[in-house]
């Protein structure tokens, strides 16, 4: 017989799975609390109890997926030998995330669109993006270029994340538009941009 904690954990997971499916197929605005609860075969009260509402369940979904992807990327970056290998690992884990299927990136775009219309969601997304940018900057600070020089210690995390998400969006519209080599080259450009700025001064 399941314990109360196990039952709560099961309910929480069912709600997350139902919300992920509805958000990805209908969008956030068109997915009501009642619809999520019905899909999960739970009550709407369970959503408020576990997440505080629809936004809470959206944020919990994305945070869980981001944490899973970040752990895989970190391991792959440690194992990579070259700058291109590291950039390929970033690209691979965005286009083929280890968890959440392709719903993860669809929800990322959906959240961005929602946040553009909602101040609270925008503030949440801004905090999350800043953390992601800083994480990328910390990783890049330990990388070297092909000639052994360290990558310039300039904030490039925002550019790298922007290139990743933008390229993935184009690839989603037309899978033949962005191949892996093009993606890695574009990411390399974002990482090496400070070097180009220094040489043109």
pLDDT digits (tens, 9 = 90+) for 16-65: 999 988 988 888 889 999 999 999 999 999 999 999 998 899 888 877 77
> Do 1-52 and 58-199 agree at the fold level?
no
What are 34-41's contacts with CB under 8 Å, separation 24+?
A: 40/11, 40/14, 40/15, 41/14
For the chain, the domains span 1-52, 58-199
Supply the pLDDT for residue 182.
Answer: 95
> Does residue 66 surpass a pLDDT of 80?
no
Determine the topology of domain 1-52 in CATH: Arc Repressor Mutant, subunit A (1.10.10)
Question: Quick one: pLDDT at residue 197?
Answer: 53
Q: 104-150: per-residue pLDDT in tens? A: 777 888 888 888 888 888 888 888 889 888 988 888 888 877 777 77
The mean predicted confidence, pLDDT, of the chain is 85
Tell me the mean pLDDT in the region 158-176: 91
The whole-number pLDDT of residue 100 equals 61
Q: How many CB atoms lie within 10 A of CB 124?
A: 18
- Indicate the Cα dihedral angle 192, 197, 200, 201, nearest 10°: -150
Within 13 Å and on the Cβ side, how many CA atoms surround 197? 11
Instruction: Tell me the pLDDT tens digit for each residue of 71-99.
Output: 888 888 888 888 899 999 999 888 887 76
Find out if CATH 1.20.120 is the number for domain 58-199: no
What is the model's pLDDT at position 62? 77
Q: What is the pLDDT of residue 4?
A: 83
């Amino acid at each position: 017989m399941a314990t109360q904690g196990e039952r709560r954990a099961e309910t929480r997971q069912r709600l997350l799975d139902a919300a992920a499916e509805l958000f990805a197929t209908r969008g956030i605005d068109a997915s009501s609390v009642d619809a999520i609860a019905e899909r999960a075969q739970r009550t709407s009260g369970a959503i408020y109890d576990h997440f505080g509402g629809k936004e809470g369940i959206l944020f919990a979904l994305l945070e869980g997926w981001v944490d899973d992807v970040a752990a895989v990327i970190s391991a792959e970056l440690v194992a990579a030998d070259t700058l291109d290998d590291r950039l390929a690992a970033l690209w691979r884990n965005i286009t083929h995330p280890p968890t959440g299927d392709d719903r993860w990136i669809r929800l990322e775009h959906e959240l961005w669109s929602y946040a553009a219309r909602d101040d609270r969601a925008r503030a949440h997304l801004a905090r999350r993006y800043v953390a992601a940018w800083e994480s990328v900057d910390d990783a890049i600070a330990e990388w070297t270029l092909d000639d052994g020089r360290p990558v310039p210690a300039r904030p490039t995390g925002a550019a790298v994340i922007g290139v990743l998400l933008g390229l993935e969006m184009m690839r989603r519209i037309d899978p033949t538009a962005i191949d892996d080599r093009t993606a890695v080259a574009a990411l390399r450009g974002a990482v090496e941009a400070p070097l180009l700025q220094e040489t043109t001064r």
